[in-house]
């Protein structure tokens, strides 16, 4: 029988191992003390973020995170919580001292942690950006429900996500995006807000009116709100137990705000001159650590036991620091590794510890590069829909979502009928928040699903920029501990007309971003193969669906089969000739082909198909043969991807060139709306033909 709340909370309090709580807080204090007094001044720790004042409540929270698949979206002041969940002192110090054995192998700031786990609460990779932890945490919560109720995985029953942040983080878009998702979907998430009154020097009254986010959210529909004082640790422990129990019991999301004093500066450099001596003294008076001693000694722990734990913690931290000091710095020869999923020489995949399907030993067949076209020609939108349908069928972990993606079938109709067929848990609409869409996808990927979020139009990926960037760098930042493979479908580019909002292409941004594979198919067959490769792969992928191609006649091809895949980084040589190399991708390929037809110049036409990675071998080989190169793209010319290709050719094919490398692309303006204006600036068949003729005449 399930105990009532009145019985359950006291039972959880009764079960609290106070000695273990004290031990962990003592370790956290000893770490902060050592770093503040010694390691930071010695510059062995370069960025110090003390958790003094936040430590008691965090360790008390950690004691309640007992679900087999609980996860925490944490931030830079979450170290005590990590210690409570099982991170060792050596791991903590190796991280802050930038030594081998640290959580990021010296790649990230010491308190920007990650903590992969197969069993027990894990900590999702922390980011430096305030507020970034929230939407991945709700994604995890949605995946918990999915894995339990849809996939029938009992380990996920009753597990929850915790999103941990400070008061200032409640002003961020990420917080509100997550709150909307958690409450509209009734997800098992606890928002755990430690309010120390400041975001660096800015008071919480600037972050939320009146300075109390709990009060302001008290009428928020579907959210249970609790508010308390972290300087009263026993009462705080009760509130924490109550909040966690409710979320675990399936009562929906909760927010618990606890007031805590920040007993050191924001970071090691911060002298807190903005606070004044009286406030600083008052904060010291409210030190929860001292309060805890007064509350639990001698009832739960004798004074001798308390002192013994404190001395033991200090000694353990001292010894560990000596040990870690003797440890090597990470090997610079490895610093370029783990941007993408890697395969060793013997063919073994070096798989991340957590995130995606491969980490759980789930591999789908790699497919076949041989197309087996059957049936009539289909448009690119249908090609996408059919591929998604097949992958949803063979892989129960695929989930497809975005604005209008569910019932309507997407504003581009690429997901039409999928919700009817696979249900609302696997194909669903989302709130209008791109940060929410991508952040949620990150959390779901980290929980072992293959999310396929749609960004409705290329330009509207802007609000998701932070989540996209952080997702891309995740594997590198965590030295291959975590990765979040997903396929982000982004329709974009011009259609019948342009405009600055729906018609942008700007694919180069993703190539310049770290860790994203980027596909930009020019036709339905390649779209099938590339999308399937991405869905069965182990890296985050941007899949660009060009609006002009979705129903364009030229892009229509017969469906190449349910096994068909196209390897990334392999250009397609559409026609061969010795006078010129023409390189393009996306919607410009069709125009390049027409221009070549018009000029009758014998040329190699290379459709790159993917820009990350891109097939430099094919481009170099062609240019070494033709000695001339024209690159055509829709993206703006300055620092467009053509510039990268040109730079590589200038270096590696310099002596093979008989003429300067030419680029033909959009001028540096947004896409204009009027078709007359658009065609005046977009590379068109006439313009490309003219470039070709001029280049071969040089």
Ligand X SMILES: Cc1ncc(C[n+]2csc(CCOP(=O)(O)OP(=O)(O)O)c2C)c(N)n1
Token pair of 599 as six digits: 């000029």
Interaction between residue 264 and ligand X (CB under 6 A): no
Distance between CA atoms of 450 and 467, rounded to whole angstroms? 16
Interaction between residue 166 and ligand X (CB under 6 A): yes
Helix axes 18-34, 303-325, angle to 10 degrees: 40
Helix axes 303-325, 89-96, angle to 10 degrees: 50
Interaction between residue 129 and ligand X (CB under 6 A): yes
Interaction between residue 196 and ligand X (CB under 6 A): yes
Interaction between residue 173 and ligand X (CB under 6 A): no
**Closer residue to ligand X (CB): 196 or 636:** 196
54 is catalytic: no
**Closer residue to ligand X (CB): 86 or 128:** 128
Burial of 54 (0-12, 13-18, 19+ CB in 10 A): buried
Residue found by looking up tokens 């904060």 in the block: 283
Q: Of the candidates 675, 542, 548, which has an alpha carbon nearest to the alpha carbon of residue 611?
A: 542
Among 167, 270, 593, 634, binds ligand X (CB under 6 A): 167
Q: β-strands 580-584, 629-636: how paired? A: parallel
* CB 54, min distance to ligand X, A: 7
Longest dimension (CA), the chain: 93
* CB 72, min distance to ligand X, A: 15
Residues 373-402 that bind ligand X (CB under 6 A): none
**Closer residue to ligand X (CB): 196 or 478:** 196
Among 57, 64, 133, 169, binds ligand X (CB under 6 A): 169
**Closer residue to ligand X (CB): 174 or 253:** 174
Residue from 54, 502, 546, 633 carrying the catalytic annotation: 502
* CB 200, min distance to ligand X, A: 5
Residues 557-586 that bind ligand X (CB under 6 A): none
Per-residue CA distances from 467 to 47, 174, 432, 488 (Å): 23, 9, 15, 12
Residues 176-195 that bind ligand X (CB under 6 A): none
Strand ranges for 90-157 from DSSP E: 122-124
Interaction between residue 130 and ligand X (CB under 6 A): yes
Residue found by looking up tokens 């099938």 in the block: 528
Cα dihedral 474/113/50/53 (nearest 10): 110
Distance between CA atoms of 228 and 194, rounded to whole angstroms? 10
Task: From 167-175, 225-233, 296-304, 430-438, give the range in contact with ligand X by CB under 6 A.
Answer: 167-175
Among 200, 280, 339, 685, binds ligand X (CB under 6 A): 200
Interaction between residue 683 and ligand X (CB under 6 A): no
State the binding string over 307-346 for ligand X (x if CB under 6 A, else -): ----------------------------------------
Contact 210, 246 (CB under 8 A): no
Q: How many CA atoms lie within 13 A of 170 on its CB side?
A: 28
**Closer residue to ligand X (CB): 270 or 391:** 270
Task: From 39-47, 154-162, 166-174, 301-309, give the range in contact with ligand X by CB under 6 A.
Answer: 166-174
Interaction between residue 266 and ligand X (CB under 6 A): yes
Task: From 55-63, 161-169, 391-399, 411-419, give the range in contact with ligand X by CB under 6 A.
Answer: 161-169
* CB 164, min distance to ligand X, A: 10
CB contact set of 697 (below 8 Å; sequence gap of 6+):
none
* Three-class secondary structure of residue 47 per DSSP: coil
* CB 474, min distance to ligand X, A: 17
* CB 62, min distance to ligand X, A: 17
Cα 549 to chain centroid, rounded = 29
* CB 201, min distance to ligand X, A: 9
Q: Of the candidates 423, 325, 378, 421, which has an alpha carbon nearest to the alpha carbon of residue 102?
A: 325
Task: From 101-109, 164-172, 423-431, 491-499, give the range in contact with ligand X by CB under 6 A.
Answer: 164-172
Length of the chain in residues, anyone?
Answer: 698
Among 86, 120, 128, 396, binds ligand X (CB under 6 A): 128
Interaction between residue 168 and ligand X (CB under 6 A): yes
Interaction between residue 165 and ligand X (CB under 6 A): yes
Distance between CA atoms of 586 and 665, rounded to whole angstroms? 13
Q: H/E/C letters for each residue in 478-506?
A: CCCCECCCCEEEEEECCCCCCCCCCCCCC
**Closer residue to ligand X (CB): 433 or 565:** 433
Task: From 125-133, 246-254, 375-383, 615-623, give the range in contact with ligand X by CB under 6 A.
Answer: 125-133
The residue of the chain with the least Cβ separation from ligand X equals: 166
- 8-state DSSP, 126: P
* CB 137, min distance to ligand X, A: 15
Cα dihedral 213/216/217/221 (nearest 10): -170
Among 62, 106, 199, 288, binds ligand X (CB under 6 A): 199
* CB 211, min distance to ligand X, A: 11
Task: From 145-153, 160-168, 342-350, 677-685, give the range in contact with ligand X by CB under 6 A.
Answer: 160-168
Q: What are phi and psi of 560, to 5 degrees?
A: -85, 5
**Closer residue to ligand X (CB): 92 or 582:** 92
Contact 395, 364 (CB under 8 A): yes
* CB 343, min distance to ligand X, A: 35
Task: From 122-130, 249-257, 438-446, 681-689, give the range in contact with ligand X by CB under 6 A.
Answer: 122-130
How many residues touch ligand X under the rule CB under 6 A: the total is 15
Q: What are phi and psi of 350, to 5 degrees?
A: -90, 90
Residues 67-106 that bind ligand X (CB under 6 A): 77
* CB 267, min distance to ligand X, A: 8
Contact 474, 129 (CB under 8 A): no
Helix (H) / strand (E) element for 173: namely helix 173-184
* Three-class secondary structure of residue 127 per DSSP: coil
Residues annotated as catalytic are: 502
Site for ligand X, rule CB under 6 A: 77, 128-130, 165-169, 196, 198-200, 262, 266
């Amino acid at each position: 029988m399930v105990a009532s709340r009145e019985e359950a909370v006291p039972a959880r309090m009764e079960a609290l191992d106070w000695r273990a709580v004290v031990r962990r807080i003592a370790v956290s204090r000893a770490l902060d003390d050592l770093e503040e007094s010694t390691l930071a001044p010695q510059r062995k720790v370069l960025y110090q973020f003390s958790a003094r004042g936040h430590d008691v409540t965090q360790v008390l929270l950690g004691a309640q995170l007992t679900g087999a698949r609980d996860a925490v979206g944490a931030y830079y002041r979450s170290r005590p919580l990590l210690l409570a969940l099982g991170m060792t002192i050596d791991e903590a110090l190796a991280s802050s001292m930038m030594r081998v054995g640290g959580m990021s192998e010296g790649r990230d700031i010491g308190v920007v942690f990650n903590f992969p786990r197969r069993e027990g609460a894990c900590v999702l990779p922390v980011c430096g950006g305030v507020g970034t932890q929230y939407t991945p945490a709700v994604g995890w919560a949605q995946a918990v429900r999915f894995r339990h109720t849809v996939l029938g995985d009992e380990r996920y029953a009753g597990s929850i996500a915790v999103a941990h942040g400070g008061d200032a983080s409640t002003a961020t878009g990420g917080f509100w995006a997550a709150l909307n998702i958690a409450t509209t979907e009734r997800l098992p998430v606890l928002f755990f807000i430690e309010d120390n009154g400041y975001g660096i020097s800015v008071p919480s009254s600037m972050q939320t009116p009146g300075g109390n986010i709990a009060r302001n959210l008290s009428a928020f529909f579907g959210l249970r709100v609790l508010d308390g004082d972290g300087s009263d640790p026993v009462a705080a422990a009760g509130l924490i137990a109550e909040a966690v129990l409710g979320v675990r019991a399936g009562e929906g999301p909760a927010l618990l705000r606890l007031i805590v004093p920040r007993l050191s500066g924001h970071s090691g450099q911060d002298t807190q001159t903005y606070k004044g001596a009286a406030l600083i003294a008052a904060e010291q008076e409210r030190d929860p650590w001292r309060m805890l001693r007064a509350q639990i000694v001698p009832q739960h722990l004798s004074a001798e036991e308390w002192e013994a734990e404190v001395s033991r913690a200090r000694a353990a931290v001292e010894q560990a620091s000596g040990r870690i000091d003797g440890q090597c710095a990470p090997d610079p020869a490895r610093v370029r590794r783990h941007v993408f999923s890697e395969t060793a020489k013997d063919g073994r995949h070096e798989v991340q510890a957590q995130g995606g399907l491969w980490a759980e030993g789930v591999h789908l067949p790699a497919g076949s590069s041989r197309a087996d076209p059957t049936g009539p020609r289909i448009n690119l939108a249908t090609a996408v829909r059919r591929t998604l349908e097949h992958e949803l069928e063979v892989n129960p972990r695929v989930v497809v979502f975005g604005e209008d993606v569910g019932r309507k079938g997407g504003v581009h109709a690429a997901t039409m009928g999928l919700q009817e067929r696979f249900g609302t848990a696997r194909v669903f609409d989302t709130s209008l928040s791109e940060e929410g869409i991508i952040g949620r996808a990150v959390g779901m990927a980290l929980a072992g699903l293959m999310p396929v979020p749609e960004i409705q139009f290329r330009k509207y990926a802007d609000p998701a920029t932070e989540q996209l960037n952080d997702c891309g760098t995740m594997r590198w930042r965590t030295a291959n501990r975590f990765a979040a493979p997903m396929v982000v479908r982004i329709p974009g580019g011009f259609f019948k007309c342009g405009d600055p909002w729906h018609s942008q292409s700007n694919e180069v941004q993703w190539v310049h971003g770290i860790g994203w594979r980027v596909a930009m198919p020019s036709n339905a067959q390649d779209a099938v193969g590339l999308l399937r490769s991405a869905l069965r792969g182990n890296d985050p992928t941007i899949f660009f669906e060009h609006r002009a191609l979705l129903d364009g006649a030229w892009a229509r091809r017969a469906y190449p089969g349910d096994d068909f895949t196209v390897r990334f980084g392999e250009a397609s040589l559409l026609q061969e000739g010795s006078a010129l190399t023409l390189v393009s991708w996306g919607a410009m390929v069709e125009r390049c082909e027409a221009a070549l037809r018009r000029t009758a110049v014998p040329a190699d036409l290379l459709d790159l198909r993917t820009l990350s990675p891109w097939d430099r071998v094919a481009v170099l080989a062609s240019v070494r043969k033709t000695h001339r190169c024209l690159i055509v793209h829709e993206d703006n010319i300055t620092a467009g991807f053509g510039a990268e290709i040109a730079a590589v050719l200038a270096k590696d094919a310099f002596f093979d060139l008989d003429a300067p490398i030419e680029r033909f692309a959009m001028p540096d303006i947004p896409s204009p709306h009027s078709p007359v204006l658009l065609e005046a600036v977009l590379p068109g068949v006439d313009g490309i033909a003219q470039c070709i003729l001029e280049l071969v005449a040089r």
